[in-house]
Structure 1
Amino acid sequence: MAIVSLVAVVVLLFVIKRLILVRLKEKARSETSSMSNIYRVLVLSLNAPLNLLILVIVLSLVKSVVAVFQVEDKAVLHALGIAIEAGLIITLFLLLERFVTYSLRRYRDQSTLVKNTSAIASGAVRAVFAIMAVLIILSTMGISITPVVASLGITSLAVALALQPTLENFFSGIQLVMDKPIRIGDFIELDSGEQGFVEKIGWRSTWVRMLPNNIVIMPNSKLSNSKLINYYYPERELSVPVEVGVHYSSDLEQVEKVCLAVAEDILANHEYGVKTFQPFVLFHTFDNSSINLTVMLRTREYFNRFFIKSAFIKALKKRFDEEGIVIPFPITALNIDQECTDAIISQSIKKHS
């Protein structure tokens, strides 16, 4: 009868577990997106802990049966009691570990930190929960855990000293992800001059894909302590200055009108132009052979500036030719009279000497 009762209890408990999981799945389908994710995580997290909890309940029933039929056998009862306590502790920590692990997997596509660190974070979570569970089980068994904790502290200190560069990169990586000076997909320029797209932000290093399609791997500690330019922050749109020089005999008012007309046409029709931006012209330098000005355009992102600048230069050169506006060649003027005078003086000095 005891065996039949235990089997019936096990079957009943598995049926209850099944009903609980089915109910949670139905709630996940009916709730909003954020709540549905929580219910899905609960469904995945509860399966193994509930199986272990059923085993603990069965052990409790077995202990009751043993207590009835073997009252004087204290060793069996003590062993069953320890197994039940250990089972409850493992069930609790297994539930917490599964919840954290499946939460990381569920939300890794929504966060750069979770996406880049989910695998290592899951392993670290399992290790931490396993150590805590073992220490608590040893404590319930009457074993002193003070020497174990002291040994773990000394070992952790030794490991920290040995892995100091690695830990420095690790915490620098967390700082980069939390502070978000750069994000995956951003186009950045390092203080050493390299430019590229952020490919991955890992625990130890950050990968930057350069324009020639090669990868630069920067340790996180060096990246966090260096000066860099993020061309995608706070927004991707970027001003594109174009330097132009015209002849001194040019009508500057006409030059300004022509430049603005060409710039507006490029921004309106080019695929990388920002149509809402109003271009402007600034004259700034009387150079050796030209009056220099800057035409300010705007493009959607940094990498597009090469194409829109090229299109503008070609269109502006064509329009200058039509309007008769001259872009002068570099000119060097030689004062022949002064050079001849210096030669005559030098010859006379030589004769008198």
Structure 2
Amino acid sequence: MNMFLDILEYILPFALILFSFILGLLFEKRGLKLLKKFAKKTGWESYGIIIARALRGIVLLWFVIAGVFVATLSFPINTSVREFIQKAILATFLASVTFVVSKLAVSFVELYSNRGNEGSPLSSLFEIFTRLVIFSLGLLIIIQSLGIAITPLLTALGIGGVSIGLALQNTLSNLFSGLNILTSQKVRVGDYIKLGSGEEGYVTDIAWRQTIIKEFNENLIIIPNSYLISSNFKNYALPEKELLITVELGVSYNSDLEQVEMVTIEIAKEVMQEVEGGIPNFEPFLRFHQFDYFSINLTVYLRVNEFIDHLIVKHEFIKRLRKRYQLEGIELPFPIKATYIPDKKF
């Protein structure tokens, strides 16, 4: 009988761990599916998916941790060893909670950023910064829970931080410039910008050291954050992505300007309605503004969804307008200049 109890005393802890492992598997397969179904029924499907992804694999770990903890209470081991194991269990549990909170925070911020009016994606710098803050707090909580005083550690980190800051001035300058870019919202991922030095393209990412711009021909431009924030640039996506564009042209002095205006506006409306990238409900307009050497010049104003759409809209407008001008007999004059040659006596 005593032998059976002794065997049971050693087998029971392993049985508890195995039982908790099986229970964790069942809960992860069934429980997370039920969570998704409940979230879908209540209209919170996106949140349910995010929570389920964050908990996948972690729930099983928590059940195993619980099983190991209970097993240590019944397993015949030394008290100091038991305390060490329990502290390791606590540290593992807190680390897993920190990991889950980090994933949830980044996912929720990404969800809300994509739900905004502009649908601006989350930059890698903001994601790294969010994870860094959460993991730092989690690490401090773990150290404190293990009975280690964190005050001397923070003091040492503060002194060491000064030395590190002096050694990494350029890196820190780019880091804080990147944070400034993110918080000011003057440049966002997905915006089309043009620098004063001529580089232009879509912002694909704002990282901790540089901002990455993708040109229309698929080339990447890497710009240090400190350079970007101190330079002049034009953001074609602010204050909104819709953009007013202009087309400059000139007609002959023999043209009927009333007819020119009517025909040009008609073609402009047609382009706005039919060409992808145009704003269908926008009323295009034109203004005559100059008597030039060989033509009366005018500017046509159109509106597009975003900067890159001006290419196809201008392309179609010029083609259709020239064809219609030819049908209406409206002349687009060649550039000419009168030349004065004084009389010379030979």
**Structure 1 residue 178, shift from structure 2 partner:** 4.3
Return the match for 1:133 from 121, 136, 142.
142
Residue 256 of structure 1 is matched in structure 2 by 261
Match of 2:324 in 1: 319
**How many equivalent residue pairs?**
325
Distance 1:274 1:118, change over 3 A: closer
Cα deviation digits, residues 286-323 of structure 1 (max 9, x gap)? 22333211122233332232333233333333333443
Change (3 A) 1:301 1:126: closer
Structure 1 residue aligned with 2:116: none
How far the C-alpha of 1:260 sits from its partner, in A, is 1.8
Q: Does the aligned pair in 2 maintain the 1:27–1:39 contact within 8 Å?
A: yes
- 2:263 pairs with 1:267: no
CA distance in 1, matches of 2:340, 2:308: 47
Correspondent of 2:37 among 21, 29, 34 = 29
CA distance in 2: counterparts of 1:268 and 1:43, whole angstroms: 49
Identical columns (%): 32
Alpha-carbon distance in 1 for matches of 2:21, 2:315? 71
Residue equivalent to 1:283: 288
Change (3 A) 1:61 1:246: same
1:205 to 202, 210, 217: 210
Structure 1 residues 47 and 119, CA gap change in structure 2 (3 angstroms): farther
For residue 113 of structure 1, give the secondary structure of its aligned residue in structure 2: coil
1:40 to partner: Cα distance:
4.4
2:60 is equivalent to residue 47 of structure 1? yes
**1:334–1:179 Cα change, 3 Å:** closer
1:237 aligns with 2:266: no
1:57 to 60, 70, 77: 70
Change (3 A) 1:51 1:246: same
The CA deviation at 1:20 is 4.7
Structure 2 alignment gaps of length 5 or more: 114-120
Deviation at 1:216, TM superposition (A): 1.0
Look up the match of 1:160: 165
* Paired residue secondary structure (1:254): helix
Q: In the alignment, what sits opposite 1:113? A: 122
Relative to the length of structure 1, the TM-score reads 0.76
Contact persistence 2:106–2:130 (CA under 8 A): no
CA displacement at 1:330 relative to structure 2: 4.1
Aligned counterparts of 2:58 and 2:273: Cα–Cα separation in 1: 55
Question: 1:208, CA displacement in angstroms?
Answer: 0.9
What is the Cα deviation at residue 218 of structure 1? 0.8
CA distance in 2, matches of 1:8, 1:307: 70
Q: Select 1:171's aligned residue among 168, 176, 200.
A: 176
Q: 1:101 to 1:208 in 2, by over 3 A?
A: same
CA shift, 1:245, in A, is 1.8
Contact 2:17 2:64 in 1 (8 A): no
Going from structure 1 to structure 2, the CA distance change for 1:261 and 1:89 (only over 3 Å counts) comes to same
Kindly indicate whether residue 183 of structure 2 is the aligned counterpart of residue 183 of structure 1.
no
Unaligned runs of 5+ in 1: 67-75, 348-353
Partners of 1:30 and 1:236 in 2: how far apart?
38
Structure with larger Rg: 1
- The offset of 1:118, in angstroms, is 4.9
Aligned partner letter, 1:100 = V
Q: Does 1:77 align with 2:79?
A: yes
Q: Deviations over 1:200-248 (max 9, x none)?
A: 2222111111233321101122223333222234444332311122233
Partners of 1:49 and 1:94 within 8 A in 2: no
8 A Cα contact 2:125 2:178, kept in partner: no
Residue aligning to 1:98:
99
Amino acid of the residue matched to residue 122 of structure 2?
L
* 1:3 counterpart (1, 10, 13): 10
Richer in helix (by share) = 1
